[in-house]
Amino acid sequence: MADFVKVAKTNDIEPGQARLVDVKGKRIALFNVDGQFFALDNTCTHRGGPLAEGEISGHEVTCPWHGATFDIRTGEVVGPPARQPVPRYNVRVSEVDIEIEV
């Protein structure tokens, strides 16, 4: 059964930034896009690059290894070379806490 797990405070991640969090053995990239928070598996589906270290532009993150681009909101592939989407996680935000459902 999935549970929401507290992973950060809202002021821990500036808009346009990402942070790597470990939740129940999963490495998850947590993104702040204009005050909205999104969570994707940290591993690019092309060759395993770390998405939390990627460049963020709007609602897209570009893998730092080979340039695959993903929609931060859905995990869907926006640009090659990746062909498979990245798993997405539900995020819940209270006044100050950010929780991810895993």
**Res. 2 pLDDT band, cuts 50 70 90:** confident
| Number of compact structural domains in the chain | 1
| Percent of the chain with pLDDT strictly greater than 70 | 99
Of 11, 18, 29, whose CA–CA distance to 95 is shortest?
A: 11
Of 96, 72, 90, 101, whose CA–CA distance to 12 is shortest?
A: 96
Range(s) of the domain holding residue 76:
4-101
Can you give the CATH number for the domain in which 22 is found?
2.102.10.10
- Position 88 scores a pLDDT of 98
